[in-house]
Structure 1
Amino acid sequence: MKIRKYFLLVMTLVFLNFLNLNASQKRTGEIEATSSLVSSTKLNLVQKNNKKIFTIEVYRSNGKLSTKSEYELEDKDKNIEKNEIKKLYEEVKLGKIDYSSKVIEEYHENGNLKTRLTDTHVKEKLEEYDENGKLIRVENGE
């Protein structure tokens, strides 16, 4: 249950960054958005090993990665094309996207990984790291 609460907290913070966003199509399959809380956000849809992966990357004003969310799309969503990436993002915000797995990572200001949440619908795993990149805690959930 703690993992689900942590996930909701991280997603809430990510999505708050998109309030009042100015989005423009950067190139096919990638949108960059800016807000007052972060420097930029990139949305991307790629094909990896016969799987469509949707990513959301949020960058700090210093250019370093703050959070990264990666969703492996379910079959019903695999027909979404790169030009529909904003629609896909809206589906994620509303909690309507189906995914077979997701990974959400948060980074320390120095660029080292802070937390990684992995959810495969069967089990969840939360890993926490200190600022030097040392694993300090692992929590498994269902």
Structure 2
Amino acid sequence: MSNEADVALSVRLSKLAADLEPSPSDGESMQSPEAVLRSVAVFGDIARVSTQLQSQAVATAQDSGLSWAKIGKALGISRQAAQQRFDTRRTEAIQATETMRIVGPVSRNEEVEQINAAGRQGWKLIRSLHGEHALELDDES
């Protein structure tokens, strides 16, 4: 965003905060500690909702086929940073079942050996995180 756009957004958010904030009671100035704390709370609410909306927009962008590189560029961050921050598949836990298995936590030295050993037993790798790998029983084996 340009500096001009940032200023315009700041003005709009300040107006929104003023609309959301209760008016100071009689005898209370706009700079009283209570009024300032209410402003802090209102801007906290705006930030929380903004973060949720941003996450939804990123998920929609990903679902529509946009790459993490393009999403990262729109956010002014790297592809890797965008994926680490917004990829819900990275945070959704996988539960081990009869056809699903978790290898890890393992060290870097052990992971290839363990994944290869599981592969020889009919398991295929479906997701890798740092030191933890999800495997699924391969029906074709």
TM-score (norm 1): 0.24
Higher strand share: 1
Higher helix share: 2
Structure possessing the higher relative contact order (Cα contacts under 8 Å, 6 or more residues apart): 1
